[in-house]
């Protein structure tokens, strides 16, 4: 037991990396840890209580909200507001930003952007889902309410980002710009224990993750890349392996550990892509870069894109450096006709 390092201990040990934060960032991550435990508990009994299925409404993207989407959103909001380290949140499940107006929160330095339950349609069939979060320092004056400009910051301004994956085991993975670290939840102790320190992604891989059911709607360059993966891998003399779960967190987590690429390109029906820059792409881009990989929209570094709206969508290619560079080369070589 003496060798076990908990998430709380690890955060405190590394507070010196953020002398300007005076413990607030550590407390904020503690709020996320608490909410993750609560959501994990409900997910683990999803088949026993009335928490699965649709809630009967749609989110701002026009997608049917699951009961657990709403539950997770409320629990993370409550946890983030309670400790007073956050002045507001933006969520994939909210039409507008949520401003915390208590006096304590107005003095907070941080805002949080989140996808409270990524891949929630998988809940009903007992497949891994996750939570994605992104933390920024506010740019408006402390003491006033959070404003939209606090949230519309490029990804390279993030001070921390991470995800929780609720699967065969529950893990919290995060970065503060000093490497990527993973913590596995021990339900017998009620703590997240350090299990993956300084996670790195292989420079190359054999796994590609994409919803090939949309193949005929993909850009020509992506189609060519998929054919390359299936037919032409001269170094190994065999095709790549296709693995697609349909939960960004789960697909990303596997590829981070094993090496691979996740692709969600533009399509004929979603010309700007479908994933959200602020809630999904920026935090995953921060993580992958800290792990030694890259994230791109097919041409540009994801974290350099200046957001213009809360629910902005972008094409997304993330994973091992050589694989992302290869798909970029195909997109450049085979541009779609204007």
Domains of the chain: 7-196 (3.30.540.10), 207-333 (3.40.190.80)
The predicted structure's pLDDT at residue 49: 46
Please report, for residues 22, 86, 87, 201, 253, the alpha-carbon distance to residue 105 in angstroms, rounded to integers and kept in the order given: 16, 6, 5, 37, 33
Rounded to an integer, the average pLDDT of 247-261 is 97
Rounded to an integer, the average pLDDT of 13-41 is 85
- Predicted TM-score (pTM) of the model is 0.92
262 known ligand binder: yes
109 known ligand binder: no
The predicted structure's pLDDT at residue 127: 82
119 known ligand binder: yes
Give kind and range of the element (H or E) at residue 135: strand 129-137
274 known ligand binder: yes
The predicted structure's pLDDT at residue 123: 73
304 known ligand binder: no
263 has which bridge partners?
317
74 known ligand binder: no
Please report, for residues 226, 264, 307, the alpha-carbon distance to residue 212 in angstroms, rounded to integers and kept in the order given: 9, 10, 28
- Any alpha helices (H) in 96-200, and if so which ranges? 103-106, 148-151
Question: Is 70 exceeded by the pLDDT of residue 7?
Answer: yes
Lowest mean pLDDT, pick from 191-200, 230-239, 264-273, 294-303: 230-239
DSSP letter string, 42-65: HHHTTTTTT--SEEEEE-TTSPEE
263 known ligand binder: yes
121 known ligand binder: yes
Residue appearing with tokens 């970065």 = 175
The predicted structure's pLDDT at residue 46: 59
136 known ligand binder: no
Structure tokens at 37: 């435990």
68 known ligand binder: no
Count the residues in the chain: 338
H helices then E strands: how many in the chain? 9, 17
120 known ligand binder: yes
- Percentage of the chain with pLDDT > 70? 89
Lowest mean pLDDT, pick from 111-125, 181-195, 224-238: 224-238
* CA gyration radius, the chain: 20
Residue appearing with tokens 């789960």 = 250
256 known ligand binder: no
264 known ligand binder: yes
Rounded to an integer, the average pLDDT of 141-164 is 97
- pLDDT-derived band at 167 (thresholds 50, 70, 90) equals confident
117 known ligand binder: yes
3-state helix, strand, coil in the chain (%, to 5): 35, 25, 40
Give kind and range of the element (H or E) at residue 138: none
The predicted structure's pLDDT at residue 237: 56
- pLDDT-derived band at 73 (thresholds 50, 70, 90) equals very high
């Amino acid at each position: 037991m003496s060798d076990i390092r908990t998430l709380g201990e690890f955060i405190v040990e590394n507070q010196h990396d953020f002398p300007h934060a005076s413990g607030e960032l550590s407390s904020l991550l503690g709020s996320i840890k608490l909410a993750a435990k609560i959501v994990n508990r409900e997910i683990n009994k999803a088949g026993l209580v009335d928490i699965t299925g649709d809630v009967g409404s749609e989110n701002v993207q026009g997608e049917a909200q699951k009961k657990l989407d709403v539950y997770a959103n409320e629990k993370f909001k409550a946890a983030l507001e309670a400790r007073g380290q956050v002045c507001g949140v933006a969520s994939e499940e909210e039409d507008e930003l949520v401003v915390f107006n208590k006096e304590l929160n107005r003095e907070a330095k941080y805002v949080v952007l989140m996808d409270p339950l990524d891949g929630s349609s998988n809940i009903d069939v007992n497949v891994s889902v996750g939570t994605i979060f992104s933390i920024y320092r506010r740019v408006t004056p402390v003491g006033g309410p959070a404003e939209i400009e606090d949230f519309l910051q490029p990804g390279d301004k993030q001070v921390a980002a991470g995800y929780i994956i609720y699967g065969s085991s529950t893990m919290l993975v995060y970065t503060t710009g000093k490497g990527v670290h993973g913590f596995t939840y021990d339900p017998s102790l009620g703590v997240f224990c350090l299990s993956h320190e300084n996670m790195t992604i292989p420079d190359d891989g054999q796994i590609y993750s994409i919803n090939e059911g949309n193949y005929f709607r993909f850009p020509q360059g992506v189609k060519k890349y998929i054919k390359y993966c299936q037919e032409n891998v001269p170094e190994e003399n065999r095709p790549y392996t296709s693995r697609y779960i349909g939960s960004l967190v789960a697909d990303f987590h596997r590829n981070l550990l094993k090496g691979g690429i996740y692709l969600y390109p533009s399509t004929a029906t979603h010309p700007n892509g479908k994933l959200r820059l602020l809630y999904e792409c920026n935090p995953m881009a921060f993580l992958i870069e800290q792990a030694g990989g890259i994230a791109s929209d097919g041409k540009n570094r994801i974290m350099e894109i200046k957001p213009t709206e809360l629910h902005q969508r972008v094409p997304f290619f993330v994973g091992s450096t050589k694989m992302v560079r290869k798909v970029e080369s195909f997109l450049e070589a085979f541009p779609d006709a204007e």
